[in-house]
């Protein structure tokens, strides 16, 4: 498995984890959990972009 593929998988996991936290935080009015979810989604988005750049340079 290439590094870009591994990075894409990690990005997807962080985005999914972030979405779940965001939704649970929203449903339970837990602003800190919701914010944590948004941060995880943002981290996943950055990892996704890094993987794209790596893929173009392989």
Q: pTM (2 decimals)?
A: 0.86
Secondary structure class of 11 (helix, strand, coil): helix
pLDDT in tens, the chain (58 residues): 678 899 999 999 999 999 999 999 999 999 999 999 999 999 999 999 999 998 888 7
User: How far apart are the C-alpha atoms of 18 and 14, rounded to whole Å?
Assistant: 6
- Going from N- to C-terminal start, the domains of the chain cover 3-56
| Inter-axis angle of helices 31-56 and 3-27, nearest 10 | 160
Dihedral-angle region of residue 29 (phi above 0 means left; psi in -120 to 50 means alpha; beta otherwise): left
Q: What is the pLDDT of residue 27?
A: 98
Q: What is the pLDDT of residue 56?
A: 82
Query: 45: exposed, middle or buried (C-beta count within 10 Å: 0-12, 13-18, 19+)?
Result: middle
Q: What is the pLDDT of residue 58?
A: 74
């Amino acid at each position: 498995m290439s590094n870009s593929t591994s990075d894409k998988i990690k990005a997807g996991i962080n985005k999914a984890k972030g979405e779940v936290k965001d939704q649970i935080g929203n449903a339970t009015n837990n602003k800190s959990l919701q914010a944590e979810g948004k941060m995880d989604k943002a981290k996943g988005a950055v990892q996704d972009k890094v993987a794209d750049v790596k893929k173009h340079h392989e």
